[in-house]
Amino acid sequence: MFERKINNAELWLKIRKLRELINQTPNFKKRACFECGKDLNIYDFLSDNLEFTAGYVLDMWQNALFEFFCCECFKILKKDEIMLIEKEIKTRYCSNCNIPINIFKFSNEYRHLKISELKEYWLKPDSKIFCSRLCEKKFYSSKDKKKF
Ligand SMILES: [Zn+2]
Ligand SMILES: [Zn+2]
């Protein structure tokens, strides 16, 4: 929740910056979902990609080489990709409480991760996987205590 609030302030600044940049872009593109053809909004795209600067988001938007998807189509694509990861490793166990986790539960809990990051965590044998963010917190806080 706290994380969200910070992101909102950051998002707001980036939206303003992006608006300025668009005003200075005479050939600003209209974009539609590559899959279903629905009109896309660059500000939605920005809010999904907060790790990028407004300028970079605009560059990607204007770049004919990139394909864009609406939220719904993206979710379906994501699900397909997750199923491919599931084929490699079906179950992992929480590094804190040891309960079995499947990749769908994991991806739901760690929604902010990109598919590539999700895949990396899930498939790397020595990576720590947690059933929830709470478990992750517990794990690292008990570890800190042991150090002292
Ligand atoms: Zn679509
Ligand atoms: Zn756990």
Tens digit of pLDDT for each residue in 63-119? 988 888 898 898 898 899 999 999 999 999 999 999 999 999 999 888 878 888 999
Which listed ligand is nearest to 68 at the C-alpha?
Answer: 1
The percent of residues in the chain predicted with pLDDT above 90, rounded, is 62
One-letter identity of residue 52: F
Which listed ligand is nearest to 101 at the C-alpha?
Answer: 2
Q: For residues 120-138, b (16+ Cβ closer than 10 Å) or e, as one string? A: ebbeeeeeebbbbeebbee
Q: What are phi and psi of 127, to 5 degrees?
A: -75, 150
Return the pLDDT at 1. 45
Which listed ligand is nearest to 93 at the C-alpha?
Answer: 2
